[in-house]
Amino acid sequence: MSELTLEQAQGLLLERIKEIKETERIPLWDAIGRVTAEDIFAKHDQPPFPRSPLDGYAVRSGDIKGASKGSPARLTVIDEADAGHVSKTKVVAGTAVRIMTGAPIPEGADCIVGQEDTDYGEDTVEVYEKISAYENYCFAGEDYKAGTKIIDKGMKLGAVEIGILASLGLREAYVLRKPRAAVLTTGDELVLPGEELKPGKIYDSNLYTVVTRLTALGAEVVRKGRTGDSKEEAAAWIRDAGKEADIIITTGGVSVGKKDIMHDVLKLLNCERIFWKIAVKPGMPTLCAQYEGKLLICLSGNPFGAAVNLELLVRPILSKLMGRKDLELKRIRAVTQSAFPKRSGVTRYVRAFYEDGSVRIPKGSNASGILSSMCGCNCLIEIPAGTPELKKGEEVWIILI
Ligand code: AMP
Ligand code: MG
């Protein structure tokens, strides 16, 4: 079977994905990063009443016409209006109400004089500044009016959007449910962190990388597990996980060795193979299938290969499942600060740090089995197939991760 390009592989996966339609109502506290399932309209004006933007005096602009330091307007202070309390006093000619920021503006007043433009008087106040009608005056509904659409369906909720929902008086958000993912790592050599590292064994890092990255991308990891290089065991685990998950991700066992069991696992599961092998490095032997309507993405066990293909293949799937454009792969231009001297036969991804238009390749190997040099990296340089070598100062495409 000939290798697909990354775009072909992504296309074959994405055409099988339908956006999640199921919804749930959740507390605003838990809504960060979730996608709204409804348009949100304001039920009241914000602010609900005209309010003072300053600490000062609520006055009638007609009473302070021409006021200045040399010729102040003198007004009788008849009440105090504090935030959270409604003053029943009416401001009539020659009077002022001492007012605090956020307090409702009393009837009769049409502007606020900031206290720094007065003598801070208690019983009478001298005003040194003329203020026009509706200057220093917050109108009811100036943030938003009742009936206005405030948030569009399909929007990702950040802290500010959650604050807006709270300003509407809502305690809950109506959101799409999260995509459910199951993660299986395979390999007789794997032991879990915390267990003893016996000869021939290595710690399972993929389980942690894949599970935490999926969580960060907005998925709910409903199952995580590990099996040895046993096709029966792996098939049974996937069969079980498929009852719950929208997408199943495995690592290991996709190459051509005797213990590369995932090919047989697909046969045991009796599922449709979508493709095997993509013309990318790392992660060329990625194997993808459809099992009971769900995508089964089998990544290479090499930690860098798994991490890269999680970005290149799984992130776009999550983006489509949640309708989240912000998760789509974004390529930007950057100038290399260091060279990458290897020729690339297929499209190659190199771990790197991006900052201010420049991209730096870390010291250490870019090999697919090496994870440590990826520490702190925030992007992948995409080197097109056939590129002889990358020179310092060259402009390249990168994908932010
Ligand atoms: P495989 O894809 O099963 O041929 O594994 C390729 C390489 O990745 C081997 O050196 C494995 O030991 C290593 N590997 C496989 N799975 C994991 C894992 N979960 N965590 C860390 N390394 C792994
Ligand atoms: Mg293996």
DSSP 324-363: -GGGS--EEEEEESS-B-S--SSEEEEEEEEETTEEEPPS
* Region 6-20+178-327: CATH code: 3.40.980.10
* Helix, strand, coil percentages, rounded to 5, for the chain: 20, 30, 50
Cβ of 309 less than 6 Å from ligand 1: no
What is the pTM (predicted TM-score) of this model?
0.93
Q: Is 367 in the pocket of ligand 1 (CB under 6 A)?
A: no
The DSSP letter of residue 51 is B
Residue nearest to atom 17 of ligand 1 (CA): 301
Q: Tell me the C-alpha to C-alpha distance, in Å, between residue 21 and each of 18, 93, 127, 255, 393.
A: 9, 61, 61, 36, 47
Q: Which two tokens stand for residue 147?
A: 């009936």
CA-based torsion, 388, 393, 394, 399: positive or negative: positive
Cβ(245)–Cβ(252) below 8 Å: no
Cβ(234)–Cβ(186) under 8 Å? yes
Residues 6+ positions from 211 with CB-CB distance below 8 Å: 183, 221, 224
Q: Spelled out in words, what is the top-level CATH class assigned to the domain 56-127? A: mainly beta
> 28 near 166, Cβ under 8 Å?
yes
In the chain, ranges of CATH 3.90.105.10 domains: 25-46+145-176
Q: Which ligand is nearest to the CA of 306?
A: 1
SS3 380: strand
**Residue 356: CB partners within 8 Å, gap ≥ 6?**
none
Tell me the C-alpha distance between 367 and 340, whole Å: 12
How far is the CA of 235 from the CAs of 200, 240, 268, in angstroms?
A: 25, 9, 7
Q: Which of 186, 213, 251, 308 gets mutated to test ligand 1 (max ligand atoms within 8 A of its CB)? A: 251
Q: Which residues contact 354 (CB under 8 A, 6 or more apart)?
A: 332, 334, 378, 379, 398, 400
In testing the pocket of ligand 1, which one of 197, 302, 304 has its CB within 8 Å of the most ligand atoms? 302
Q: Which CATH number fits domain 330-400: 1.10.10.10, 2.40.340.10, 3.30.413.10, 2.60.40.10?
A: 2.40.340.10
Give me the tens of pLDDT residue by residue for the chain, a chain 401 residues long: 468 999 999 999 999 999 999 999 999 999 999 999 999 999 999 999 999 999 999 999 999 999 999 999 999 999 999 999 999 999 999 999 999 999 999 999 999 999 999 999 999 999 999 999 999 999 999 999 999 999 999 999 999 999 999 999 999 999 999 999 999 999 999 999 999 999 999 999 999 999 999 999 999 999 999 999 999 999 999 999 999 999 999 999 999 999 999 999 999 999 999 999 999 999 999 999 999 999 999 999 999 999 999 999 999 999 999 999 999 999 999 999 999 999 989 999 999 999 999 999 999 999 999 999 999 999 999 999 999 999 999 999 999 99
Q: What's the pLDDT at 3?
A: 86
The whole-number pLDDT of residue 9 equals 98
Give the whole-angstrom CA distance, residue 14 versus residue 60: 64
Q: For the chain, where do the domains classified as CATH 2.170.190.11 start and end?
A: 56-127
Q: What's residue 164's pLDDT? A: 97
pLDDT at residue number 229: 98
CA distances from 103 to 8, 87, 96 (A): 61, 9, 14
For a pocket test of ligand 1, which of 183, 195, 202 has the largest count of ligand atoms closer than 8 A to its C-beta? 202
Residue nearest atom 8 in ligand 1 by C-alpha distance: 302
- 3-class DSSP state for residue 185? strand
- Which residues touch 24 (CB under 8 Å, ≥6 apart)? 174, 175, 177
227 lines ligand 1 (CB under 6 A): no
Please classify residue 66 by burial: count the beta carbons closer than 10 Å to its beta carbon, then call 0-12 exposed, 13-18 middle and 19+ buried: exposed
Integer Cα distance of 323 and 329 in angstroms: 13
Contact present, 145 and 22 (Cβ < 8 Å): no
The token pair at 49 is: 């009443």
* Closest atom of ligand 1 to CA, residue 285: 2
Please tell me if the CB atom of residue 251 comes closer than 6 angstroms to any atom of ligand 1. Answer: yes
Q: Is the beta carbon of 193 within 6 A of some atom in ligand 1? A: no
Residues of the chain with CATH 2.40.340.10: 330-400
The verdict on the CB of residue 187 being under 6 Å from ligand 1 is yes
Q: Which residue from 19, 24, 39 is spatially nearest to 325, judged by alpha carbons?
A: 19
Which position has the token pair 């297929």? 346
Q: Output the pLDDT for position 2.
A: 65
State if residue 301 touches ligand 1 by the CB under 6 angstroms criterion. yes
Per-position b or e across 205-239, b if 16+ CB within 10 A of its CB? bbbbbbbebbeebbbebbbbbbbebebebbbebbe
Ligand 1 centre and the CA of 4: distance in Å? 23
* Ligand 1 near 252 CB (within 6 A): yes
- Give dist(CA 1, CA 309) in Å, integer: 20
Please tell me the distance from the alpha carbon of residue 321 to that of residue 12, in angstroms, as a whole number.
Answer: 15
Tell me if 36 CB under 6 Å of ligand 1. Answer: no
Total residues belonging to the chain: 401
Asked whether the bond before 282 is cis by omega within 30 degrees of 0, the reply is yes
For domain 25-46+145-176, the question of CATH label 3.90.105.10 is answered with: yes
Query: What H or E segment, with its residue span, contains residue 172?
Result: strand 172-176
Closest residue to atom 5 of ligand 1, CA basis: 301
